[in-house]
Structure 1
């Protein structure tokens, strides 16, 4: 790291400013700045502000904000988004919006590793596009941060051109690398002539933005605003009353839906979009609100994970699930449409092999999932395969297949991390047919693997054992008929497994008590330092449609309560395990996470 004299005014000696790089998503290294306090606070662990710059800008632009917030005993960090400032990539470009969220997660984990600052001792300050990145990160990754300031959150951009998003989608079909030049003039961002001039003259500001990122961000913002109840992190929202760039209504909608016990919405008067670059006294007012909020965040202890034990009863998620059970989540026209869908399923559905399996064994059954994983359309009378293709391409099933990919990547990485000469003991507590795990293990025949597959259905286990023998893995695989929710299933054999897998299981059950019971049993069977790989379903866009048309393996309507990622991670923490990271699936429907049992003392 090197000193950067330009990142703060020369007469401000409260911080030492460093530059560095960190490993971000997609094998990319991004540039960041670190403001290290010359006189760190001595009354507790180190704390940090993590700042996200606006779209088109870079981390150097937040230096004045670090100075004016004035937390001189605390660290501050900001990075240049890919394609911005000193970070690599075509200007304004990114693989997709999800990559920007993954970059934030990678940045925070880098701060933890490299600077020894716990995530619960961080507050995020984010502006515009950065605020949408922060909101998505809170929803999908559920970090235990102390609080978030969101200024002029760009949940809905004022594009001014009719049908702009459909036009961008069409353009991306012809030119995947399509970029859009910003229509925003500096004077539309702030009343301050000096700040407008500084923005216009900054050679590191990027005027272009990826069309793909714009389209992705619009879709992601609708999802996050609609499911904001999954977030209970303290939030301060600052909105501008003369914002020419983004709409205020979605910001209010997001705020109203938040489950955060500590939240505040402030609409600043005579203020334009670049809130932290406004004229005085508006900017001073915004800074004062931020300081008061951040002070309150530091003063309040981190929320305990125990709060999630009863989230299946009193949370917004539980309330929505009860409306689904009572048939009140949708109105009469939608229920009539679902009845029509059921009738079509009962007639034409039988022509599709996948639908036929779902109708006979349950759409959530192991046999149904195994068919979805194979992803080979089959049917009768010619049209059946066509219907089956549409069935297999449903967003939920595409998400399931991506979940399997993430599971295989995660398990492979964890096996590779074990010492090369040590045996690796793996347990799957609800293996079903075991196909994805056995396929993964086949690629690690050079390792000493001992695998135990458990399931409550002996037929599934016999199918898994037959597949293991077919793949030449029979000597390494044992089967046990056990119920993952029965405490007796975890009796004896404590601390014997390096990796335990709970895949596609906890998301099928709405109640938290059996899930926590299972997690506590898993924690006992992990070796110190061992890891749990667990999947979640934080949300789903077709809950009512699935409940109104499909049956589960018990022959009942397939009712699902998406368990927010924060809630699932909280139950994992209650069992004594510490989450280390997540992979987020298609549109955030499914997640694959890893949590570690603390290593033995010494």
Structure 2
């Protein structure tokens, strides 16, 4: 039986960051840290965490600052480095509880960007990385709007820029409704500072992909309307790893873990993780 636990980590500026875990009786396969995307929270990955735990992994997840049950202005990323530091802190916590295992990371969307930023700037010993919908090529804002966001981030960091359309995340109506109504989901437009930090991270990652040497599995939906699947191709082509796999799911939207075909997706992810554990 999988046991669920949660707690708090110290984040930047003394903010408390919420984390949770799913751990079964068998953790012989290793440790996984889940990294969620923009405006969502780790609780959305409960079913993923449970399935991974049932497959023999100890699974941990964190709510980024300003997201979910963590402290901080809602949806605001003041510095991407602070978000990366939160993930690093959870990796340290998980590794300390399960010595002898180099962790895996499983990440989605902005979580994939955070993970890549972490790997480019802090080459760490990870067992492997699964990246869902890495947002290196996005389709929600014009180049002009992105430039405006960078200017506003200095003079008006909380200024709203572009709104994420809930209809584009999944073909499952229940998931769309959850996006719109769940109180832990961040509502409204992306803030200027968040957008600027996002853009800067994309630039850093794109320039430094060759530093990513861990085994990687990159997955995406071919019908993703938020993040172009070409971003997944860029990661696989540019990463320095000699062990890299790309899987594009035909017809799936942005959240491949929340699509009607999610069982096929999680089966592929588990198979890859077990092969590399």
Using structure 1 for the length normalisation, give the TM-score.
0.44
- What per-residue deviation string (whole Å, max 9, x for no partner) do you get for residues 319-345 of structure 1? xxxxxxxxxxxxxxxxxxxxxxxxxxx
Write the distance in 2 (CA, Å) between the matches of 1:98 and 1:129. Answer: 13
Q: Deviations over 1:276-318 (max 9, x none)?
A: 0001xx32221122011101110xxxxxxxxxxxxxxxxxxxx
Residue in 2 aligned with 1:219? 200
Separation in structure 2 between the aligned mates of residue 118 and residue 24 of structure 1, nearest angstrom: 25
Kept in 2, the 8 Å contact 1:15–1:72? The answer is no
Residue 288 (str. 1) matches residue 271 (str. 2): no
Deviations 1:340-360 (A, max 9, x none): xxxxxxxxxxxxxxxxxxxxx
Change (3 A) 1:107 1:171: same
1:201 is aligned to 2:151: no
TM alignment of 1:353-392, pairs within 5 A: none
Q: Kindly tell me the number of residue pairs found equivalent between the two proteins.
A: 276
SS in 2 for 1:261: coil
Q: 1:256 — aligned with what?
A: 237
Q: RMSD in angstroms over aligned alpha carbons? A: 1.9
Pair 1:160–1:180, CA change in 2 (3 A)? closer
**Distance across 2 between alignment mates of 1:183 and 1:64:** 24
Q: Deviations along 1:208-248, whole A, 9 cap, x unmatched? A: 43321221221221221232111110000001111111122
> Residues 188 and 176 from structure 1, CA distance in 2 versus in 1: closer, same or farther, beyond 3 angstroms?
closer
Shift of 1:87: 0.5
Where do 5+ consecutive residues of structure 1 fail to align?
A: 1-13, 299-602
In the alignment, structure 1 residue 25 sits paired with structure 2 residue 8:
no
Question: Pick from 58, 61, 64: which aligns with 1:81?
Answer: 64
2:48 corresponds to which residue?
Answer: 65
Q: Which residue of 2 aligns with 1:362?
A: none
Q: State the alpha-carbon separation in 2 of the partners of residues 253 and 123 from structure 1.
A: 21
1:441-475 alpha-carbon deviations (Å, 9 max, x no partner): xxxxxxxxxxxxxxxxxxxxxxxxxxxxxxxxxxx
Could you give the per-residue CA deviations for residues 168-197 of structure 1, whole angstroms, max 9, x where no partner exists?
123234313334462312x21111112222
Moved beyond 3 Å, runs of 4+: 68-73, 116-119
Who is 2:22 aligned against? 35
Does the aligned pair in 1 maintain the 2:31–2:95 contact within 8 Å? no
Q: Distance in 2 between matches of 1:27 and 1:158?
A: 35
How many Å apart are 1:119 and its aligned residue? 5.5
1:70, distance to aligned residue in structure 2 (A): 5.2
Give, in whole Å, the separation in 2 of the partners of 1:155 and 1:232.
18
Cα distance change, pair 157–169 in 1 and its aligned pair in 2 (3 A): same
Confirm or deny: 8 A CA contact 2:104 2:126 kept in the other structure: yes
The answer to whether residue 110 in structure 2 is matched with residue 129 in structure 1 is: yes
* In 2: Cα distance, 1:116 partner to 1:292 partner: 22
Could you tell me how far apart the structure 2 residues matched to 1:118 and 1:107 are? 16
Q: List alignment gaps of at least 5 residues for structure 2.
A: none
Q: d(CA) in 2 for partners of 1:107 and 1:210?
A: 26
Residue 72 (structure 1) shift: 4.5
Separation (CA, whole Å) in 1 of partners of 2:92 and 2:52: 24
Q: In 1, Cα distance between the equivalents of 2:242 and 2:179?
A: 37
Matched, 1:53 2:36: yes
Partner secondary structure for residue 163 of structure 1? helix
Q: Distance in 2 between matches of 1:235 and 1:135?
A: 11
Partner Cα separation in structure 1 for residue 253 and residue 77 of structure 2? 27
Q: 8 Å contact 1:47–1:117 — kept in the other structure?
A: no
Instruction: Confirm or deny: 8 A CA contact 2:55 2:270 kept in the other structure.
Output: no
Summarize the Cα distance change of 1:58–1:164 in structure 2 as closer, same or farther, 3 Å threshold: same
Q: TM-score, normalised by structure 2?
A: 0.92
Comparing both chains, which one has the higher relative contact order based on Cα–Cα distances under 8 Å and sequence gaps of 6 or more?
2
Matching residue of 2:85: 102
Matches within 5 A, 1:550-569: none
Seen in structure 2, the aligned counterparts of structure 1 residues 74 and 173 have a Cα distance that, compared at 3 Å, is: closer
Aligned-partner Cα distance in 2 for 1:172–1:194: 34
Instruction: Determine helix, strand or coil for the equivalent of 2:276.
Output: helix
Please name the residue that 2:248 is paired with: 267
Contact 2:52/2:59 (8 A) holds in 1: no
Distance 2:147 2:56 in 1: 48
Cα distance in 2, alignment partners of residues 232 and 224 from structure 1? 13
- Rg larger for: 1
Cα distance change, pair 118–191 in 1 and its aligned pair in 2 (3 A):
same
1:167 shift after superposition: 1.1
For residues 173 and 222 of structure 1, what CA distance do their matches in structure 2 show? 18
